[in-house]
Amino acid sequence: MNINQAVELVKEKLPKKRFDHSVRVAETAVKLAEIYDGDKSKAELAGILHDYSKYDDLGKMYQIVTKHELDSNLLSYGSEILHGPVCAVIMKEHYGVDDEEVLLAIKNHTTGRAHMTKTEKLVFIADYIEPGRQTPGVEEIRDLAYNQGSLDKTIYEISKRTVLYLINKDINVYDATIACLNYYNYSDERVKDD
């Protein structure tokens, strides 16, 4: 699937506000790819497609999780977590997207995970900092991403803020998000690469 086909696919399905968000995520992912020497075409494709399943029927999403033997823990969560993994399955199965980096970036754009590929990192960050986002503290994260030169540190800060937000709201935190937070935590002595 090329980028023009992806744009049309997403435009037909998503409400305008969510489509506009997807375009901004794709543009932001490309901008980050330029800074961090990533694959711009992969980042753009994953960015435009990442929310394709955002408003899918929850029952159908659960069926996909079961049918495709995705992490059974996903069945304890709603569409906020499910739409990424479900979208990756749909893109591969129905639309022929076979690039593993693109599929992983779509799958993990909300939760993150340990050991992310560069494309995953770019889309994960882009989804959080795209210009339409008004989350408190997002300017600090944008500065970190654009000016501080570290994808990994940016991922840690996003993960930390996400986990704290969920805890403060008494919302369960998905395992992969905790793993992401722990892996990218700069308080330990591991050496990490962007």
CATH number at residue 89: 1.10.3210.10
Q: What gap in Å lies between CA 43 and CA 46, rounded to an integer?
A: 5
Q: Using the 8-state DSSP alphabet, how is residue 14 labeled? A: S
- Which of these, 127, 122, 136, lies nearest to 164 by C-alpha position? 136
pLDDT at 191 over 50: no
**What pLDDT score does 190 carry?**
44
Number of compact structural domains in the chain: 1
123 has a pLDDT exceeding 50: yes
Identify the CA nearest to 88 among candidates 69, 66, 67, 103.
Answer: 103
Kindly state whether residue 46 falls inside one of the protein's structural domains. yes
Instruction: Please indicate, yes or no, if residue 140 is contained in any of the structural domains.
Output: no
36 pLDDT more than 80: yes
pTM of structure: 0.92
Alpha-helical segments (H) within the chain:
3-13, 16-35, 40-49, 58-67, 79-95, 100-107, 118-129, 138-147, 151-168, 175-183
> What residue numbers bound the domain in which 7 lies?
3-135
Of 54-68, 80-94, 103-117, 178-192, least confident by mean pLDDT is 178-192
pLDDT in tens, 132-164: 999 889 999 999 999 987 899 999 999 999 999
Q: What average pLDDT is seen over the chain?
A: 93
